[in-house]
Structure formats: structure tokens, C-alpha cells
């Protein structure tokens, strides 16, 4: 699926990372714990050719804890992959992630340790920097492409941390991956059909998290059988109406997506390691 959203600063950051990533001692690859595979930038392999890489599954507070455990086990079984789950707003967890990232980097007073934080937009890279610095150094926000330039900040213990703008890639395949990115807020809401994103969320919630849906929307009794029914009932209950009392599906979609992104529906994981084996089985 071609995404018509690859702003110039992403192109520049890609170029910068291709040239500069090798100078870092370690790259903290910021992923979204709800979509640890979909949020992996396919260019990361190239950026990290000569640099150690640690996967940070951030926003663990929004992800299904059982599924996050499954992901950590999945990554543990892979050779040369190191992964940790955190909530970047939590000082203790943020510090633990940094410690984990630099534990094998030689510490020598004469030389600063260089840590780069890179990944797709809206995964919490700048938040991690702010939490570690103990003050608001970088602008953050719950829309993608907040950071536009890389920024170096000196931290304690002779560490230089580089916050970088989140980058995507122009063709995101398969479409399921684009929707997984969009539903978590990594892609601009204007780059895809907004109602399609809500449809994707509705299907996931109906199949995997019906209890959370019931808890958030007690008026769903019984639970609707399909995506249209879910959006229709949310729209009716929340007053998302057009002239003549018709349901405004765009407004209903906004309610569902905002509730999902803010964690009001509960801790939801969009991808599980079992989805991969299911996909592979279907291909055979
Ligand atoms: N619930 C939760 N929210 C988080 C966490 N980390 C970051 N956020 C929120 O996620 C949003 C995005 O955070 P940023 O730090 O701006 O993300 P970024 O990766 O720097 O984004 P770009 O600069 O666009 O690449 C903000 O609203 C943060 O408050 C986390 O661990 N848990
Ligand atoms: Mg940022």
C-alpha cells in the first residue's frame, strides 16, 4: 500500500542515519509494544549494520501484558536480538532501558558513550529522552512527526543521547501493516481512509477483546456481530448523528480510535507472535 505521506524531514533523517548510525555505540530501536513487528522500520537493519541494536517495546502500559510477555519470549529465542519492554513515561523503566542498552558498551571517562534513539513516528523516542533527562528537552505529542531534527543531549554518566525524528517508508506492505501502524497513531490520519482504520480496530476488538469492548461500552448488549454494527451502536449511543438522525460513521470512528489510542478500552495488543506462524501456515 503506497502511503502518500513521506515528508522531507523523514528523507533527510534516513540519509543522516545511514551516515551517522555507525558512530553510535548503541541504537535504541523504539517500537510500539502493541505492534512490535509492524513498527519495525525495514531500514533499521541497514542503519545498524555496524552498531549494536536493542529493541525497546515502548508503551507497554497500553499493550496486553500477556502478549508482551509472549513477544519478549519470541525475541529471546532469536539470535543476536535483545529486547526489553518499557513505559517511557516511567523514570524507573526508562533508566532500566538505558542501562540495558549500554551494559556492554565500554565505560571510559575520557570518551562519551553515544546512544541513538531511532524508529518510526510516535513510539515515544522524545518522551524517553525527556524522562531520562528529568526535564522537558524535546517536544512530544500524540500525533506522528513531532520531532523534525535530530538532537543531541548530554545525560549523566558521560552519555550523549541522540533523539531522532521518526521515519516511515513510502510503500507499506501488506495493507494490514499500514492499518496496524495507523491505528496506533504512527501514520498521519490523513494518509489512509479514517473509517477503514476504525474498521480494522473494530474487527480486532470484536474478535480478540470482546470483554474490554463490553466494559468500555456497556450499551453493547448483545455485542454486535460485525464492524458496521459496532460503529453504528457506538455512534447512536454517543450522539454521532447527521441530519435526519443518520449515524455519522466518521464521528463514531473517531470515538473508537481515540478510545483505543488512549487506552480507555483497555490494554490491547494488535499483533501477537502467533499471528506470524498463522500467516506462514496460510502461505504454505
Ligand atoms: N501511554 C504511554 N504513552 C507514551 C509512552 N511513551 C510516549 N507516550 C506518548 O506517546 C506520544 C508520542 O510520544 P513522542 O515522545 O512524541 O514520540 P516520538 O517517537 O518522539 O514521535 P516523533 O517525534 O513523531 O517521531 C506522546 O503523547 C507521549 O506522551 C508510554 O510508554 N506510554
Ligand atoms: Mg520525537
Report the share of the chain in percent with pLDDT over 70: 97
136 lines ligand 1 (CB under 6 A): no
pLDDT over 90 percentage in the chain: 90
Strand partners, 83: 55
- Whole-number Å distance, alpha carbon 175 to ligand 2 midpoint, is 25
Pairing of the two strands 113-119 and 159-163: parallel
1, pLDDT greater than 80 = no
* C-alpha pair distances (Å), 86 with each of 67, 231, 250: 14, 32, 33
- Pocket residue to mutate for ligand 1, from 10, 16, 44, 88, most atoms within 8 A of Cβ: 88
Going by CATH, does the domain composed of 193-279 fall within 1.10.1580.10? yes
Ligand nearest to the CA of 13: 1
Is residue 58 within 8 A of residue 124, CB to CB? The reply is yes
As a whole number of angstroms, the distance between CA 94 and CA 89 comes to: 7
- Closest atom, ligand 1, to C-alpha of 129: 15
CA 66 to chain centre: 17
- Residues 95-154 have pLDDT tens digits of 999 999 999 898 888 899 999 999 999 999 999 999 999 999 999 999 999 999 999 999
8-163 belongs to which homologous superfamily?
A: P-loop containing nucleotide triphosphate hydrolases (3.40.50.300)
Determine if ligand 1 sits within 6 Å of the CB of residue 124. Answer: yes
Which tens digit of pLDDT belongs to each residue from 155-213?
Answer: 999 999 999 999 999 899 999 999 999 999 999 999 999 999 999 999 999 999 999 99
Q: Which ligand is nearest to the CA of 141?
A: 1
CB 127 less than 6 A from any atom of ligand 1: yes
Domain residue spans of the chain: 8-163, 193-279
- Cβ(29)–Cβ(56) below 8 Å: yes
Residue, of 56 and 108, whose pLDDT is higher? 56
Answer yes or no: is the C-beta of 126 below 6 A from any ligand 1 atom. Answer: yes
Ligand 1 neighbourhood includes 185 CB (under 6 angstroms): no
CA–CA separation, 2 and 158 (whole Å): 42
CA 129 to ligand 2 center in whole angstroms: 9
- Asked if the model's pLDDT at residue 278 lies above 80, the reply is no
Q: Mean pLDDT, the chain, as a whole number?
A: 95
The atom of ligand 1 lying closest to the CA of 87 is 31
The answer to whether residue 279 scores a pLDDT higher than 60 is no
152 alpha carbon to ligand 2 midpoint, in Å?
12
Residue 82 has pLDDT above 90, yes or no: yes
Amino acid at each position: 500500500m503506497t502511503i502518500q505521506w513521506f515528508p522531507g524531514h523523514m528523507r533527510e533523517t534516513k540519509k543522516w542515519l545511514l551516515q551517522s548510525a555507525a558512530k553510535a555505540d548503541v541504537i535504541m530501536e523504539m517500537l510500539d509494544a502493541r505492534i512490535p513487528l509492524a513498527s519495525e522500520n525495514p531500514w533499521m537493519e541497514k542503519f545498524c549494520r555496524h552498531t549494536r541494536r536493542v529493541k525497546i517495546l515502548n508503551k507497554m502500559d497500553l499493550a496486553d501484558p500477556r502478549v508482551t510477555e509472549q513477544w519478549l519470549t519470541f525475541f529471546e529465542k532469536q539470535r543476536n536480538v535483545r529486547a526489553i519492554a518499557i513505559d517511557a513515561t516511567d523514570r524507573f523503566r526508562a533508566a532500566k532501558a538505558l542501562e540495558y542498552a549500554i551494559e556492554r558498551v565500554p565505560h571510559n571517562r575520557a570518551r562519551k558513550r553515544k546512544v541513538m534513539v531511532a524508529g518510526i513516528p510516535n513510539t515515544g523516542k522524545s518522551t524517553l529522552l525527556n524522562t531520562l533527562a528529568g526535564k522537558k528537552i524535546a517536544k512530544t505529542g500524540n500525533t506522528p512527526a513531532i520531532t523534525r531534527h535530530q538532537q543531541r543531549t548530554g545525560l549523566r554518566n558521560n552519555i550523549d543521547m541522540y533523539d531522532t525524528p521518526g521515519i516511515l517508508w513510502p510503500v507499506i506492505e501488506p495493507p494490514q501493516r499500514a492499518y496496524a501502524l495507523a491505528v496506533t497513531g504512527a501514520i498521519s490520519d490523513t494518509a489512509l481512509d479514517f473509517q477503514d482504520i476504525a474498521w480494522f480496530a473494530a474487527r480486532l476488538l470484536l474478535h480478540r477483546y470482546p470483554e474490554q469492548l463490553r466494559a468500555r461500552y456497556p450499551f453493547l448488549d448483545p455485542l454486535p456481530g460485525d464492524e458496521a454494527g459496532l460503529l453504528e451502536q457506538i455512534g447512536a449511543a454517543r450522539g454521532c448523528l447527521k441530519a435526519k438522525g443518520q449515524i455519522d460513521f466518521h464521528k463514531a470512528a473517531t470515538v473508537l480510535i481515540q478510545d483505543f489510542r488512549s487506552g480507555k478500552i483497555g490494554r490491547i495488543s494488535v499483533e501477537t507472535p502467533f499471528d506470524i506462524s498463522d500467516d506462514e501456515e496460510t502461505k504454505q
